[in-house]
Structure 1
Amino acid sequence: MKRLNVEIKWSVICLGLMFILQSPSFAQKNYSEFKGKVVDARNNKALEYVSLNVLETNISTVTNSEGEFLLKVPETYSNSKVVVALLGYSKKVLNLSDLSDNISVIKLEEVYTELSEVSVSAFKDAGRLVRKVFEEKDKTIQNESVYMTAFYRETIKRRNRNVSLTEAVVNILKQPYTSKNRDAVKLGKARKSTDYKRLDTLSVKLQGGPFSTLYLDIMKYPEYIFTEETLETYRFTFDPPSTVNNKNVYVVDFKPRNKTLDLSYFGKLYIDVETLALVSASYSLDVSNKGKSRNLLVKRKPRDVVVYPLEANYKVDYKQQGNKWYYSYSNLSLKFKVNKKREIFNKVYTLSSEMAVTDWEINTDDLKIKPKDRLRPSVIITDAISGFSDPDFWGEYNLIEPDKSIESAIEKIIKNIKKEEERLEESLP
């Protein structure tokens, strides 16, 4: 079978590093599960990327594309509160005991913000504000070594059908943001299933695994989008302000000044008014020029195949703890059209990956990740792990609830595996 391996090139946006270690906060065996859904209070629309954080801890999760969440909390914190927050909405603080055993529906109110004249006049030049954010990040961003437990999910679809599902719990050894040392990662619990029959004569793989999301941390790795040179190639303007966690944020829109660049991005930066820290970034790679984007994100492919990226979207979020901000969540979505010689119809594939930090602690014990345990940035995660396992596989680890389509695909795959096992058992003498 011919294989089409896809990676985000280092010159575009690097693929991330990932590791896994047991999270100290989850060393105990007893924990409670809280399930629910977060919706817009006005129209009941499901809200994705909503952060749920157990107050005065580093335990958290995020909602999936259908607004659903699953939060696992050690019994030690059963009487705690949970903070529910999303950019542009008023945060809500609830007692964990208020979340019922059944699906709880949490409604968030959208917020419309008007900054004071003083806040607006402080930065008339949006470009100057962005430069200040990067120049003074040592004042706002975590500047010590941190161990993070995170959940990673990667999916590959042909059209709208899942063909590859991969999930892993990882621990990230996050280096200080002012350090030139790169983050390290070790793989822990993981599972995958791939149905290559749906891929016909091509199998599409994402190279980099968790690195594909970790390197979207543009405060740690600004060189992949905003360097001193590339900053000059973008036009920065202010959009109407917004809020996150009931705090005001500047919204800065950016786009290339001209179309002559080989690679350029466009999107929005959300910057905390008070601390001037980056709260969130949502942006896309410009793939409108077919001549420039042809085979742009491809590492390896058959000679008779041409690949055109249709979409390349990226998102990263940061969370405040005390007076510092920490990497919290990121995702990417890549959509490709694949043309193969002598075939009438082209194929469209979508590759998505996301990673959410579910717990972390400052590395006061100066723990290290052994070189032999580190994942390589070039790893193809689907080749590195085995298949699906039992329902209690994840134990007390927090994860992102699967979308219904993913959940259904997993159930179907597990049923097929069981049928195959039963068939083999019956065939034995």
Structure 2
Amino acid sequence: MIRNVLIITCICINCGTLYSQSNSPTGQLSGSVLDEGNNPLDHVYFFLKNYPEFNGFSNSSGHFSLRFPEVLKEDTLVVNHLGYQRLQVPLARLKSTGNSIRLAQAVIGLEEVIVKPEDSSLEEMISKAIDNIPQNYPNKRHQLTGLYRKVSTNYDDFTHLVEAVVTVEDLGYEKDVQSAKIKVESLRQSEEHAEVDPYISAMKAKIRNQIESMGEPVGALNPIIGTYPSNYIRTAYVPESHFGRDGYRFMGIPELPVYHQFMGMEFIGTDTIYHIAFGSDDPPDGRNFLKINGRNHAIVEYQLGYRSGEHQVYVKFREVDGRYYPEIIRLKSLRLINRDVGVHQMDIHTLWLDKVNTDHLKKIRPRDLLKREQEIEPNEFPLDEGFWKDNEFLKNHPLDSAIINSLERNGKLLEQFERNAKD
């Protein structure tokens, strides 16, 4: 109860602002998805290529609509449907309304045809995937290396950027996630362009101290350490976890029913990936989903969130030597920095974990550990320009030009990085 006080208090401070400004300018896209015979296609999945958290499905009439920050207008819309060729269309080529997107039918060999599971079997598939977590995910010490990026939004602007190359040392998915160690190899950050109310910051600290004094668990202040456990499969050892073995968050209980819908299949090599939407609506709207590999019932991708958008987690895995390691962990959450509370102000944390190492591990030294209570403040980390100039992780995950343009309204990013670096 007390853990919810912070969110409730901040929202109540300025609920008038929240509702009056919720219709702020944003990118908008709508139209219909058709086959080559101009017949509408339902349950077609679409998303922004570089920001897949902005996504949706076409309805029974083939109609679709998508809202996204205006600064992402240079991104690409990806359209995907079982039995049809995947289509990628630059947003710049699409209109705000009245688009007609046509998909060409894909040729599928007879050996690839798999019968669609009946709805009655979806619960069994999800239950088996949860039961198989110990067999499908890491059970021994391993290291992951990749790029962390946090971008903060305010309506159609980006207001803050943090980038860090990190190494994660984890003991395995049956151990306490707090035992995972994270080292920052290098970090840089921009200026803070949003208005930060020191009163709100002080109030958050006071409530946090009160929770701690009562012996209640609190999340990490450090955003990098806080993002890693957003891979809820990593915390499945906790009974109350989303992926705890009781499974009621996916199966439902009489008081809180959960509905499931089969959305389609993907063929990746010899594997068949089943896409299942779930939620409290009947049928579910597709914003919450699981992708399950039929070969071993491993959850290879999932998205969980609240319908109003104030919190969302997206995770994608890769298979290495029969075990699944996180490839992308993306957490979107409200940014509680002033009285202007709402989904127009968000922090979007992303971990791209490009390298997996399971042998000959070099342990992270205690003095190099990132601390849970270590907030990322300006002038705390030195800036190694040579490290970032040719960094392979940054090349694999370049910063979107729309974000750069938004953040550079008060000066070049490199100059901001230098001003916020430790001398």
Q: TM-score, normalised by structure 1?
A: 0.57
Equivalences for residues 172-211 of structure 1 within 5 A = 172-180=168-176, 182-196=179-193, 198-199=194-195, 201=197, 207-211=221-225
C-alpha distance in 1, partners of 2:295/2:129? Answer: 12
Equivalences for residues 200-279 of structure 1 within 5 A = 201=197, 207-222=221-236, 223=238, 224-229=241-246, 230-231=248-249, 232-233=252-253, 235-243=258-266, 245-246=268-269, 247-256=271-280, 267-279=288-300
SS in structure 1 at match of 2:385? coil
SS in structure 1 at match of 2:302? strand
Equivalent residues of 1:241, 1:248 under 8 A apart: no
Q: TM-score, normalised by structure 2?
A: 0.58
Specify the code of the residue in structure 1 equivalent to 2:231: D
Of 345, 349, 352, the match for 1:349: 345
SS in structure 2 at match of 1:275? coil
Corresponding residue for residue 327 of structure 1? 326
C-alpha distance in 2, partners of 1:416/1:216? Answer: 29
Evaluate the alpha carbon distance shift between residue 370 and residue 256 of structure 1 in structure 2; reply closer, same or farther with a 3 A threshold: farther
C-alpha distance in 1, partners of 2:323/2:341? Answer: 48
Shift of 1:418: 5.3
Shift of 1:165: 0.9
Q: Which structure shows the higher helix fraction?
A: 2
Shift of 1:361: 1.4
Query: Which consecutive residues of structure 2, in runs of 5 or more, have no partner in the other structure?
Result: 1-5, 8-34, 36-45, 53-71, 87-102, 205-219
Of 282, 287, 311, the match for 2:303: 282
Shift of 1:319: 0.8
Equivalent residues of 1:388, 1:414 under 8 A apart: no
Matched, 1:131 2:127: yes
Query: Which consecutive residues of structure 1, in runs of 5 or more, have no partner in the other structure?
Result: 1-5, 8-41, 51-64, 69-85, 92-107, 259-264, 288-309, 423-429
Matched, 1:154 2:150: yes
What per-residue deviation string (whole Å, max 9, x for no partner) do you get for residues 163-184 of structure 1?
2110000001132223346321
Matched, 1:171 2:167: yes
SS in structure 1 at match of 2:117? helix
Equivalences for residues 10-409 of structure 1 within 5 A = 47-48=49-50, 116-117=114-115, 120=117, 124-180=120-176, 182-196=179-193, 198-199=194-195, 201=197, 207-222=221-236, 223=238, 224-229=241-246, 230-231=248-249, 232-233=252-253, 235-243=258-266, 245-246=268-269, 247-256=271-280, 267-286=288-307, 311-335=310-334, 340=339, 348-362=344-358, 364-382=359-377, 385-386=380-381, 390=385, 393-399=388-394, 400-409=397-406
Aligned length: 301
Corresponding residue for residue 294 of structure 1? none
Shift of 1:416: 8.4
C-alpha distance in 1, partners of 2:372/2:106? Answer: 40
What per-residue deviation string (whole Å, max 9, x for no partner) do you get for residues 27-81 of structure 1?
xxxxxxxxxxxxxxx9x9962369xxxxxxxxxxxxxx7669xxxxxxxxxxxxx
C-alpha distance in 1, partners of 2:317/2:288? Answer: 17
C-alpha distance in 2, partners of 1:266/1:46? Answer: 14
SS in structure 2 at match of 1:213? helix
What per-residue deviation string (whole Å, max 9, x for no partner) do you get for residues 311-344 of structure 1?
212100001234332111111222468884xxxx
Equivalent residues of 1:166, 1:382 under 8 A apart: no
Greater relative CO, 1 or 2 (CA 8 Å, sep 6+) = 1
SS in structure 1 at match of 2:405? helix
Evaluate the alpha carbon distance shift between residue 275 and residue 321 of structure 1 in structure 2; reply closer, same or farther with a 3 A threshold: same
C-alpha distance in 2, partners of 1:45/1:217? Answer: 21
Equivalent residues of 2:262, 2:275 under 8 A apart: yes
Corresponding residue for residue 14 of structure 1? none
The two structures, once aligned, show a CA RMSD in angstroms of 4.5
